[in-house]
Structure 1
Amino acid sequence: MGTTFVGVLLCKVGRFVVNIGDSRVYCTYPDGRFIPVTKDHTLVNDLLKTGEITKEEAEFHPKKNVLTNALGVWDNVRIDIEEHPESISSFLICSDGLYGYVEHDVIKKVMTSKELSTTLKVRNLLNKALRVGGYDNITIILIELEASDNR
């Protein structure tokens, strides 16, 4: 049994996202876009990339949680590291306990809300995952940046 790893490094030379497994980082941009910036290291994602299954088939695939890359399982682990130099309003770091149970559009609505504080966004997302029966662990970390933040 292995574990996933995902993280965000904010520094003066750039903003970097690191990913192993199927935990995710989403970015919210000043123009309202909300997109995942990590790629899941799963069997189903590999099947999607090769065109062997459709997005609809992937959603309910019995092996959608089978990892193809994780810490503690294989000797050779692939680490995805990407730089994100563009202006970003926030980073949402989460496990499949959130995105696997709460629809993307629902998460986006919370994340792009101007009325909710950072704390209320996290609580709102957690409550939504619990309400729909999130049986997996639910990890939610939200990093909101100021427009002038140059870390």
Structure 2
Amino acid sequence: MSRKVVIAHGAATDVGQVRKVNEDSHVAEPPVFVVADGMGGHDGGDIASEMVIQEFAKLGGTHYVSESGSQAMVEALQAAQDRIVAFALEQRSRGASDYQSGTTCAAALIADGGSSPLWILLNVGDSRIYRYFDGTLSQLSRDHSLVQELVDSGQITPEQAEHHPERNVVTRALGGMAPAVPDIFQVTLPVGARLMLCSDGVSGMISDAEIADILAAEETDARDTAEKLVAAAVEAGGRDNATAIVVDVMGLTEENPYDSEQQRVSMEQKLGVLP
């Protein structure tokens, strides 16, 4: 008998105090949750991020197991990449020779893991996925950015990375001619855990300690928590668009694959499980 996760979720977004257009896009359509950050300064960043969301939104309302869930996410990402590249080529063919568009992607999908639900996570770029549980905040995704590479090589510290002049330079994104190579991995989340996906307009404006403090407020529901994260980022300067999705793991329920006890007994007798 499989176990189904019971969740509550909420999302918020804000254009911020500097930019005129919100190039972030998001979707929260169980079992899929996605934040995409259109690359600032590029033409059509909002179009690119919306294309990502449109492709991943097609996964909403569908049951997945581990293998099918991972495949569906990779296919959605590739479909978005193909659309973004095709749109850019079309714009250039019409005379916009320097047209560029790009976006990040951070995604989570709930899949049936049998004894416990699996969370399939995917990211490209510097939009992040965090887990908060039992008083501890963990960054589950790894930034695809220049400063992350400098941190990994020991050239700068994580603290220096927060203020590095090239902290917004990403090393992977959708929209370029090179393949959009994601990190994709699976985790289990215990009851009481919070999953948070955000654009760097949140994680780049408030510290991990501030994020943890906001997520720690158990009396605040997922939607209000997402709104507080975005509001804090805007209040801290709002130099970029800010988007956050919060998903709370509320519990687990037993999911009986049979419509009735009579059906279960009949099937198990046919299989030889029961006399």
Shift >3 Å, 4+ stretches: none
C-alpha distance 149-6 of structure 1, shift in aligned 2 (>3 A): farther
Number of aligned residue pairs: 150
Task: State percent identity of aligned pairs.
Answer: 32
Q: Which shows bigger deviation, 121-130 or 15-24? A: 121-130
Residue 41 (1) aligns with residue 158 (2): no
- Structure 2-normalised TM-score? 0.52
What secondary structure sits across from 2:251 in the alignment?
coil
Tell me how large the CA RMSD over aligned residues is.
1.8
1:86-144 deviations in Å (ceiling 9; x for gaps): 42612101001111111111111111211212222122112111111112111111111
Paired AA for residue 195 in structure 2: F
| Pairwise CA distance, 1:150 | 7.9
Within a 5 Å distance, the mapping from 1:117-128 to structure 2 comes to 117-128=221-232
Q: Return the match for 2:135 from 21, 32, 41.
A: 32
What secondary structure sits across from 1:60 in the alignment?
coil
Q: Return the match for 2:252 from 124, 148, 151.
A: 148
Q: Unaligned regions of 5+ residues in structure 2, if any?
A: 1-100, 256-275
What is residue 169 of structure 2 aligned with on the other side? 66
What is residue 62 of structure 2 aligned with on the other side? none
What secondary structure sits across from 1:139 in the alignment?
strand
Give the conservation status (yes or no) of the 8 Å contact 1:26–1:36. Answer: yes
Q: Unaligned regions of 5+ residues in structure 1, if any?
A: none
What secondary structure sits across from 2:250 in the alignment?
coil
Paired AA for residue 132 in structure 2: T
**Structure 1 or 2: larger helix share?**
2
Q: Return the match for 2:183 from 62, 76, 80.
A: 80
Residue 110 (1) aligns with residue 210 (2): no
Paired AA for residue 120 in structure 2: F
C-alpha distance 18-101 of structure 1, shift in aligned 2 (>3 A): same
Residue 9 (1) aligns with residue 109 (2): yes
What is residue 86 of structure 2 aligned with on the other side? none
What secondary structure sits across from 1:102 in the alignment?
coil
In 1: Cα distance, 2:207 partner to 2:221 partner: 21
Q: Which shows bigger deviation, 134-143 or 36-45? A: 134-143
What secondary structure sits across from 1:126 in the alignment?
helix
Give the conservation status (yes or no) of the 8 Å contact 2:189–2:249. Answer: no
| Pairwise CA distance, 1:37 | 0.2
